[in-house]
Amino acid sequence: MNITPVLEQIIVTYWWLIPALFIISLLKSPFMKGVLGELQVNLAARFLLDKNKYILFKNVTLPTEDGTTQVDHVIVSRYG
């Protein structure tokens, strides 16, 4: 019994599965979740907040006892 034609048919039919699984695993990684979350906050702050009332500071570095810490987003307004 020759299995090669069956294997070829499977590869031709399901070739897209390998790139799809790679993309899904990349999107579910903690790094990409952070990147997409930060992008979402940036877009929401840019398009939904009034520029005259709110000021967005990104990537603020603050000194601590152990060195420094980084805050991704700080939104300042007259309301607090």
41: closest CA among 24, 54, 22, 26?
Answer: 54
> What pLDDT is stored for residue 30 in this prediction?
94
Annotated domain spans of the chain = 1-48, 50-80
Question: What's the predicted TM-score (pTM) here?
Answer: 0.61
Alpha-helical segments (H) within the chain: 4-14, 17-27, 30-48
Task: Quick: pLDDT tens for 27-75.
Answer: 999 999 999 999 999 899 989 999 999 999 999 999 999 999 999 999 9
pLDDT > 70? residue 11: yes
The answer for residues whose C-beta is within 8 angstroms of residue 76's C-beta and 6 or more apart is 54, 55, 57
> What pLDDT is stored for residue 1 in this prediction?
60
First to last CA, the chain: 76
Q: How far does Cα 29 stand from its chain's mean position?
A: 9
Average pLDDT over residues 10-22: 91
